[in-house]
Structure 1
Amino acid sequence: MRNLVAARKCLVFFLGTLLLAVNIHSTSYGQGRYKIYWTEAGWTKKTGKIRRAHLDGSHVKDIVTELKAPRAIALDMLRRKVYWTDESTRKIQRADLTGRNVKDIITGFTFPPGGRSVTITCRDGKCTGVVYWKEGKIKLTHDLLINPRHIALDVQRKKMYWVNEMLKHIQRANLDGSDVEDLVTYEAFSNALTLDRNRGKMYWTDYSRNAIRRANFDGSNVENVVATMDEPVSLALDVARGKIYWTVWIRGFDGPRTIQRADLDGSNLEEIFTSPDQLKSLALDPVGGKIYWITSESKTHTGTIQRANLDGSKVENIITGLNNPWSIALDFPGVRVTPSIDKLTTTWGKMKVE
């Protein structure tokens, strides 16, 4: 009898958990939870925006408006936050996915009117700067020398990583902006940054080397992954399939722009898409087997979000007529742990066989 009671409880718990999980997933999907997020850099009169839409391009909505020049974007779906860098204000900011509670996370020095020339001197890993302007000069400490370009999040470890174009550093901090660390120094210009959270690796582009490089999360063991004669712009990883994807913005100046991919060791390089327009940010939906990217006309900066299969086939336009779009991020379908499931698991752990 005791075994029969235990078996019944186990069956009831299993069915209840399954039904709850299906209900939660169906509710989220039915509400269009899985979305595309992107930035549009206004540059003048605070016309920059953070926007989103469903994965099929429908239900386009402004999330955050009146921004100067939002560039890179990253999502923390665990805490329901969106992060972005602003190239004009030299900040990393974040907000709720609804657009509320906009907050400065990392802030650098704001140049005074007419003050754009800065001289930087570094010694023993620390840098100082001097800004020259019409009323004299301003001395800057290391922590104020910030111009964040690209950002990537490790939400499980509560860390964010970014490219600091002013110092030529890759830096990281806690998600609230505390405990800033310098990790890697690059030589000239870096266009992209992404993370392999499972293996503890960060990948970035190095313009001076025409290469994609990687290192451990702490900045150690720097190595080349892909050496190319082109200018890689945006990076994305498909860790499950062992692939790295990137866009080439300018190829021989007059040549076509392409999306390329290779194995994570740099082998088996191939071009999967060619475009006459600028190719900017890209993002992967490995579950759905799709790649999304932004194209932009060189003269008008009018942009389009496109998508295709991971091999570049079946290209389709998702959203057109965008105003100078820059960066893209996806909230795609996947396995999610919810508080209610955790509670059920805890309840099961406390059950006693009577």
Structure 2
Amino acid sequence: MENQTSSQQTLFVLDGWNRKILAFSADGSSNSVVLENCGGTPDGIALDADKRHIYWTNMGNHYDQNDGYIERVDFDGSNRKIIIPPGTTFTPKQIKLDLENGLMYWCDREGMRVMRAKLDGSNITTLVQTGHTVSDQLDQTNHCVGIALDTKNGYLYWTQKGPSKGGKGRIFRAGLQIPKDEDPAYREDLELLWENLPEPIDLDLNVQTGELYWTDRGAEPKGNSLNRASVNAGTCTEPEILCSGLKEAIGLALDIKNNRVFYGDLGGNLYCRKMYEDMCCYFFSGEGKYTGIALLAEGL
């Protein structure tokens, strides 16, 4: 962690096992609890730095029921508020914010949807629908999990993880807007970028280089890994495994300015890797199950 800016950066991390939001200095020198008693199953996290807000998803208590929700809290743990109430989304997973346009995007796993709403929770919209019935819901190839945004070029990316260790994972791309006269379940602009992946989970996009990063918690040797591929200029390269041997990999966050990737797993580990150097290292190891990760570029 030799970068001089690390001590000025903060990683916000969801501990899904202990149901907490944690804050780590990005040089690993300190950590603290932002919020306890998150309840349910917290999963994805995103930040509004200007307003000092943390948004996070919660899959609820019953994955087959429409009881998931999205909450918001200030950086200091105050002013907690439900933004997307239960009854709207089944199991919200990774979340991304488009702050310029005042929007949030998330994947709904058992809901088999990619969704969007305004940051105040209004105008909830389904952008992609991969299934409708109980039978569809039981088919895990329909489960949408990770999401990334390319607002400059008008794209969203998402993973459909497939069954656990099943080797049927896929990554898709579509426009941020549903084409005129089309339906979320039948979009002609939907593109399948990669298939037969071990079990892709969370995504992040380096908008400067057009490289997509993702975690995969599928079977080794290709699973339980950090991966990268180019989606630049409309072409997709073969995925590259950057790091393997993880313990149920999930969350990740890019530090584009400093060419680093932070990522975590359910084994209680947080890692940091230089984007273009073959070096992975433990950032922190504890007793939690670290799901969502978000990076605050400047200090608290």
Question: Scaled by the length of structure 2, what TM-score is found?
Answer: 0.81
Residue of structure 2 equivalent to 1:234: 202
Aligned residue for 1:163?
107
> How far, CA to CA, are the matches of 1:330 and 1:53 in structure 2?
10
Query: For the pair shown, which has the larger CA radius of gyration, 1 or 2?
Result: 1
Matches within 5 A, 1:1-354: 32-42=7-17, 47-68=18-39, 69-88=41-60, 90-109=68-87, 144=88, 146-187=90-131, 188-208=142-162, 210-220=169-179, 221-251=189-219, 256-264=223-231, 265-297=235-267, 303-311=268-276, 313-332=278-297
Note the alpha carbon deviations across 1:153-206, whole angstroms, 9 max, x for none: 101100011112343111111100011111111241122011112222111002
Cα distance in structure 2, aligned partners of 1:88 and 1:105: 14
Query: Per-residue displacement from partner, 1:83-132 (whole Å, max 9, x unpaired)?
Result: 001112511000111111000000123xxxxxxxxxxxxxxxxxxxxxxx
Preserved contact between residue 265 and residue 289 of structure 2 (Cα < 8 Å): no
Name the Cα RMSD after superposition. Answer: 2.3
Residue 177 of structure 2: SS of its match in structure 1? coil
Q: Supply the distance in 2 between the matched residues of 1:54 and 1:100 (Cα, whole angstroms).
A: 20
CA separation in 2, counterparts of 1:322 and 1:305?
11
Secondary structure of the equivalent of 2:76?
coil
Residues 312, 30 of structure 1: CA spacing in aligned structure 2 closer, same or farther, 3 A cutoff? closer
The aligned length equals 262
- Going from structure 1 to structure 2, the CA distance change for 1:166 and 1:35 (only over 3 Å counts) comes to same
Structure 1, unpaired ranges of 5+: 1-28, 110-143, 298-302, 335-354
Q: 1:200 to 1:322 in 2, by over 3 A?
A: farther
> CA separation of 1:167/1:60 partners in 2, compared to 1, >3 Å: closer, same or farther?
same
Q: Which amino acid is 2:50 matched to?
A: L
Q: Could you tell me whether the CA contact under 8 Å between 2:91 and 2:110 is conserved in 1?
A: yes
Q: Greater RCO between the two (CA within 8 Å, min separation 6)? A: 2
- What is the identity, as a one-letter code, of the residue corresponding to 2:260? K
Deviation string 1:313-344 (CA, Å, 9 cap, x unpaired) is 2222111114111111111259xxxxxxxxxx
% same residue: 26
Question: Which residue identity is paired with 1:182?
Answer: T
When normalised by structure 1's length, the TM-score is 0.69
Contact 2:199/2:223 (8 A) holds in 1: no
Deviations 1:34-60 (A, max 9, x none): 211110013xxxx41011111111220
| Structure whose residues are more often helix by fraction | 1
Is 2:45–2:56's contact at 8 Å kept on the other side of the alignment? yes
Residues 212 and 227, structure 1, Cα contact 8 Å, conserved in 2: yes
Could you tell me how far apart the structure 1 residues matched to 2:157 and 2:238 are? Answer: 18
Separation of aligned partners in 2, 1:31 and 1:263 = 27
Matches of 1:166 and 1:296, distance apart in 2: 20
Q: CA deviation at 1:80?
A: 1.2
User: Comparing 222-231 with 52-61, which one deviates more in the overlay?
Assistant: 222-231
Any gaps of 5 or more consecutive residues in structure 2?
62-67, 132-141, 163-167, 180-188
